[in-house]
């Protein structure tokens, strides 16, 4: 208080006349006291003058006295509720009356206003929108249709299906309260949400935001800086240091990345979440979204070691009485005691977001700009839920059977799981479109394919390139009379995605030649090996020459497409589950 009084001007007649920058010059503790005092004075003045803080179209949350949010029973100290986006006067007054009567928390009231804003936009295109006495079921149909297609105002992206449904539920709850409270007696009863007909189906048939997986090259960059996760804010509680919390957050990230579980399923893991079956680790978790508890997921041994190491560290840290059953105890909030487990909101919106946004150097994309420099990756696309999509996409790319992936993802519908295979197919088709035109024959001459369909129909993949011999194509690559000597066949059509296989074959042939010389093998054996080395080298050199002649940006696109095709080809072989959590440049 002395610090505050010492800084006040002598001629100041009221604290409400203070310059807005005055509090910024005070220490944090004094600034908090002053702001609290000013808030009480503003409320007292409004009450003394008989002013109604809810009379206007913009409400100050602090003056109205709304609570901050669900689970936060203290009064909000900042922010406003703006009713002006609701265009119709009658609807705006109705929402304001709802706020006065129910006194919801700030978040709930803002969601109600947003839902009313969506309805208002739909009614603005209806002739009866400004005359509530003439509204009907047809108008409500138009409103619900608008909920189905509305987009996020901040970036124009689609809302998730679950969020659309939540907004529609908020609109319905608002209307039902207003109707029961007698606020809508002048509005026909047909203007109401009928849950039997007014529903919002899932967009397509896929899980929310399918295809928004965190790319593997981005995950590799995040892994390189995992030691910085949770270290940017100094926080200590219950005997735990900042380093202890940082270590916990790093384990949360590891489990998210490697298991493909939803953030809430990871943060709510119990301490006894590991089970060993036939010497292999299994994760026990709760699927909160579908209310299926005690689910089991096979995980890699490296992930299990991280969990076991954290369990041992937990035993050495000061125990938190209300958090003893959880693998990731709550860090607590403000002056509240630590209870239950870390929440997904705490990790996703605060810890993870700060880490990603503050990473220096930047996070780079695989694409290049016009100068051949790597482009910065959009960090807003890196969200914890993206690791779930990355996990599923990794399995789909590796050829895991759809029914197996459905079980791993704990999906209710196979249609949702198949969404990841559609992404894989579209990526493969795009990759084929890029590299098919660069195919050559055994003499190094260009023999590109006109389109992806021709590439798929007229050729079949063999170990060191494509084959266009009709009977071999028909037999899926199993009817070749000179198997593994592709470089001597006029039907041989390698393209850039086979370069690593060609280079490995050349190295193997050189090793075989040296072994043949050491064994004093017949001349025709050594001569055959020499001829194969020259033939394969000719094809590889010609493809490298073509790639070097491309502009840097096009070459990067071809290399990326080649990686996609190599992944697609490897899917034909059995891929162990343990290997799918091991990321590689391929």
Token pair in block for residue 297: 């997921």
Question: Is a pLDDT exceeding 60 seen at residue 463?
Answer: yes
Question: Is a pLDDT exceeding 80 seen at residue 449?
Answer: no
Q: How is 27-54 classified by DSSP, letter by letter? A: -HHHHHHHHHHHHHHHHHHHHHTT--TT
How many alpha carbons lie under 13 Å from residue 336 in its C-beta half-sphere? 13
Quickly list H helices, 150-269: 161-180, 216-224, 242-259, 263-267
Question: Is a pLDDT exceeding 90 seen at residue 223?
Answer: yes
Q: pLDDT tens-digit profile of 2-37?
A: 888 887 776 778 888 887 777 777 788 888 888 888
From 236, 444, 430, 209, select the one nearest 331 (Cα to Cα). Answer: 236
Give the model's pLDDT for residue 204. Answer: 42
Q: Comparing 165 with 366, which gets the higher pLDDT?
A: 165
Integer Cα distance of 159 and 301 in angstroms: 37
Give the model's pLDDT for residue 583. Answer: 47
What values do phi and psi take at 335, rounded to 5?
A: -100, 15
Give the model's pLDDT for residue 99. Answer: 93
Domains of the chain listed by start with CATH number: 1-48 (no CATH), 52-203 (no CATH), 226-358 (1.10.443.10), 434-581 (no CATH)
Token pair in block for residue 449: 């394919």
Q: Comparing 452 with 107, which gets the higher pLDDT?
A: 107
Give the model's pLDDT for residue 423. Answer: 58
Question: Is a pLDDT exceeding 50 seen at residue 508?
Answer: yes
Q: pLDDT tens-digit profile of 279-327?
A: 899 999 999 888 889 999 999 999 999 999 999 999 999 888 888 899 9
Integer Cα distance of 334 and 332 in angstroms: 7
What values do phi and psi take at 275, rounded to 5?
A: -135, 140
CA triplet 439, 440, 443: central angle to 5 degrees?
Answer: 170
**pLDDT tier for residue 431 given thresholds of 50, 70 and 90:** low
Q: In this structure, are residues 36 and 43 in contact, taking their beta carbons and an 8 Å threshold?
A: no
Give the model's pLDDT for residue 211. Answer: 55
Give the model's pLDDT for residue 47. Answer: 82
Question: Is a pLDDT exceeding 70 seen at residue 230?
Answer: yes
Mean pLDDT for 258-265 is: 93
Q: In this structure, are residues 568 and 435 in contact, taking their beta carbons and an 8 Å threshold?
A: no
């Amino acid at each position: 208080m002395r610090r505050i009084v010492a800084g006040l001007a002598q001629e100041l007649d009221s604290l409400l006349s203070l310059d807005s920058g005055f509090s910024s010059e005070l220490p944090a503790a004094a600034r908090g006291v002053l702001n609290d005092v000013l808030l009480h004075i503003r409320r007292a003045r409004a009450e003394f003058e008989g002013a109604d803080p809810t009379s206007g179209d913009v409400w100050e949350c602090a003056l109205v006295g709304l609570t901050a949010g669900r689970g936060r029973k203290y009064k909000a100290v900042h922010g406003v509720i703006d009713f002006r986006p609701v265009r119709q006067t009658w609807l705006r007054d109705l929402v304001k009356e709802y706020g006065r009567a129910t006194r919801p928390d700030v978040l709930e009231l803002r969601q109600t206003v947003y839902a009313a804003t969506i309805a208002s936009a739909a009614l603005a295109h209806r002739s009866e929108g400004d005359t509530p006495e003439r509204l009907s079921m047809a108008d409500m149909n138009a409103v619900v249709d608008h909920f189905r297609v509305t987009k996020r105002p901040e970036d124009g992206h689609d809302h998730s299906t679950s969020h659309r449904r939540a907004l529609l539920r908020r609109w319905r709850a608002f209307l039902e309260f207003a109707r029961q409270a007698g606020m809508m007696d002048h509005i026909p009863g047909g203007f109401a949400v009928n849950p039997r007909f007014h529903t919002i189906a899932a967009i397509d048939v896929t899980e929310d935001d399918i295809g928004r997986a965190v790319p593997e090259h981005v995950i590799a960059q995040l892994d390189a800086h995992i030691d910085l996760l949770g270290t940017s804010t100094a926080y200590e509680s219950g005997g735990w240091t900042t380093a202890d919390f940082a270590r916990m957050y790093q384990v949360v990230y590891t489990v998210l990345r490697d298991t493909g579980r939803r953030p809430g399923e990871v943060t709510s893991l119990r301490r006894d979440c590991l089970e060993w079956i036939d010497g292999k680790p299994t994760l026990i978790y709760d699927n909160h979204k579908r209310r299926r508890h005690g689910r089991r997921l096979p995980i890699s041994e490296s992930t299990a070691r991280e969990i076991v190491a954290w369990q041992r560290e937990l035993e050495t840290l000061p125990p938190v009485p209300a958090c003893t059953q959880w693998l990731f105890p709550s860090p607590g909030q403000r002056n509240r005691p630590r209870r239950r487990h870390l929440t997904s909101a705490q990790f996703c919106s605060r810890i993870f977001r700060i880490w990603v946004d503050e990473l220096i150097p930047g996070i780079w994309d695989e694409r290049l700009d016009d100068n051949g420099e790597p482009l910065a990756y959009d960090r807003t696309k890196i969200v914890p839920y993206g690791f779930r999509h990355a996990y599923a996409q990794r399995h789909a790319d590796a050829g895991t059977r759809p029914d197996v992936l459905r079980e791993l993802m704990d999906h209710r519908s196979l249609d949702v799981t198949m969404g990841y295979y559609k992404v894989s197919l579209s990526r493969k088709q795009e990759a084929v479109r890029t590299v098919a035109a660069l195919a050559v024959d055994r003499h190094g001459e260009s023999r590109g394919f006109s389109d992806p369909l021709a590439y798929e129909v007229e050729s079949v993949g063999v170990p060191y390139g494509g084959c266009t011999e009709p009977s071999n194509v028909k037999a899926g690559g199993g009817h070749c009379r000179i198997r593994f000597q592709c470089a001597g066949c006029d039907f041989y059509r390698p393209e850039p995605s086979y370069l690593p296989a060609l280079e490995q074959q050349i190295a193997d042939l050189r090793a075989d030649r040296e072994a043949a010389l050491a064994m004093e093998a017949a001349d025709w054996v050594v001569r055959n090996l020499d001829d194969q080395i020259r033939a394969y080298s000719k094809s590889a050199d010609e493809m490298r020459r073509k790639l070097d002649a491309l502009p840097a940006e096009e070459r990067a696109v071809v290399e990326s497409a080649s990686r996609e095709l190599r992944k697609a080809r490897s899917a034909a072989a059995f891929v162990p589950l343990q290997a799918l959590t091991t990321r590689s440049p391929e």
